[in-house]
Homo-oligomer: A and B are copies of this chain.
Amino acid sequence: MTEVYRLDQIEDILNQIDVVSAIEEGFVSYSQGKAVIPPVGELLFEDPPGDAHIKYGYIKDDDYYVIKIASGFYQNIDLGISPSNGVMLLFSQKTGELISILLDEGHLTNIRTAAAGAVVAKHLAPAKIEKIGVFGAGIQGQLQVKYLQSVCTCKNIKVWGVNQKELERYQQTMESEGYHVETTESAAEIADTCNLIITATPSKTPLLTKDQIRKGTHITAMGADTPEKNELDPAIIQSADIVVADSIAQCTERGEIHQSFCRNLVQKDQIIELGSVIASPSLGRSADDQITIADLTGVAVQDIQITKKVYEGLSSK
């Protein structure tokens, strides 16, 4: 009998399970070639504009396979409903039976993306984080910071944005949760004061230039997930000491690394896959003055892992 869980149940269980470790294990399986992940399925809509993506696959010798659907319809905001939506389906890898449906409305996609940021920081962030710089005052800008708390104690945030109202809302929300938040419209100010920077915008033009980046800075770039989007000057990737991709295959086709790769500023053998860094931490940051970059485009293995973990938590209650 298929178990169906709604968003409130899913949100409850998230406080009781270790998503970050599950995502970390998933990246290792992925980089070791143990995950079967076909190309992403895509549907595009014109009127109103929207998109739906199907990410799916399984880890060999596991019990499950997972199909995740996530959509973005940005004009939903005018209707007062969430632009993002989604559902995660967990099937038996042994019989094909549909074990569980998580009606997460896109929330677990946000969470698994934020958890990947924490995994990255664990292996690449400088030992002492002065201040966390956040580009983008949306939901991911909040979640990335919250999930970082599993790997660092810094509560000082500087958030960059172009919409004053959104910045104030971010400040208010995060301060109510115990963070100290400054807002800015100056990217240089972020680069000058923060040594852990998260970019979480849909920008199509670079927000940071190479000259702005101080030694010892780590940047997690997760906003760009298409071939067009671009948050970092491609020269930043070129000059970084360590460049990490959640998936080398995906990051050479879309996102920040893609922008450098297609300009021949970085070669494939200069990119390290996140799962390899987790399995061999010596591939991660080894000195305080290194500049490290991680590019996250989102891999189905994250969906597989979070779906399993949430289901196991809910079904054992």
Contact = CB atoms under 8 A, between A and B. Distances in A.
A96 B65 contact: no
A105 B48 CA distance: 32
Interface stretch (A79-87, A126-134, A136-144, A168-176): A79-87
A294 interface: no
A interface, over-half SS: strand
Given A96-B72, A101-B101, A91 B52 contact: yes
B96 A50 contact: yes
A10 to B, nearest CB: 13
A73 B58 CA distance: 16
A13 interface: no
B98 A76 contact: no
Contacts of A95: 50, 73, 76, 79, 81, 85
Interface residues of A, number: 40
B71 A56 contact: no
Interface string A215-243: 00000000000000000000000000000
Interface of A: 2, 4, 36, 38, 41-43, 45, 48, 50, 52, 54, 56-58, 65, 67, 69, 71-73, 76, 79, 81, 83-87, 89, 91, 93-98, 101, 103, 105
